[in-house]
Amino acid sequence: MRIDILSLFPQMFDGPLHASMIGNAIENKVIDVGVTNFRDYTTDKHNHVDDYPYGGGAGMLLQPQPIFDALADVQEKHPAKGRVILLDPAGVQFNQSVAEDFAKEDHLTFICGHYEGYDERIRSLVTDEVSLGDYVLTGGELGAMVMIDATVRLIPGVLGNAESAPGDSFSSGLLEYPQYTRPADFRGLKVPDILLSGDHGKIDDWRLQQALKRTYERRPDMLADLKLSGQARQLLADIQADAEDL
């Protein structure tokens, strides 16, 4: 996968893109990442990339010309068809499903905004408008880092254990079940006996039950539209009945 980032502050990506999982993915050539400062493409003699909005109003807007030209240059150098993502509070909210969708692409380009917003014509360039959440950041860089991290870890060959991503919270539609490692007894806090039994069928049942219980207690909204197996529906019914008896 090729990932391009258009930003006024490319230095913000120096650490996150060269450490941990993403750094390893780049080193192993699983992904290729480029950061472009779209200020380099401005034709303004003062290198301005923003201006006052027509009709008045607070703040400054990013002008279309530098972003249009920067994106055209990126796409000429890396013509693989892909998605162009505008980081914007008005976009759809990023979640695991969006990350899984992005992970299937050959090329992702993130446009990171700053100032009050974008000239509306910039939106004509993009395939997706995405928001990290219902709050406002100073720019799109931190949001892009989060989205890239969540996406890249889903690409085959990035995680050390291929089974890790499908078992994560949200990938299955449920929060993750409790997990334990050695020692089996730490200061009187013991690992559940079922996990020491070696009976993988019973362990799987326990993990499903615990994932349902944790989701019901902490994020019941996630269960509203989730398609559950017959076994899961019965386990959830038992969990709900137990909660009502308390």
pLDDT tens-digit readout, 44-65: 999 999 999 999 888 899 999 9
Domains of the chain (ranges; CATH) run 2-152 (3.40.1280.10), 185-245 (1.10.1270.20)
Predicted TM-score (pTM) of this structure: 0.85
* Residues assigned a catalytic role: 89, 116, 153, 168
pLDDT confidence of residue 171? 58
Supply the pLDDT for residue 165.
Answer: 55
Q: Please check the confidence at residue 170 and state whether its pLDDT lies above 60.
A: no
Tokens 């990938």 appear where?
171
Alpha carbons 180 and 59: distance in angstroms, whole number? 51
Q: Are 40 and 9 in contact (CB under 8 A)?
A: no
- Choose among 110, 116, 111, 118: nearest CA to 62: 118
Question: Which residues are known binding-site members for S-adenosyl-L-methionine?
Answer: 113, 132-137
Whether 80 contacts 31, CB under 8 Å: no
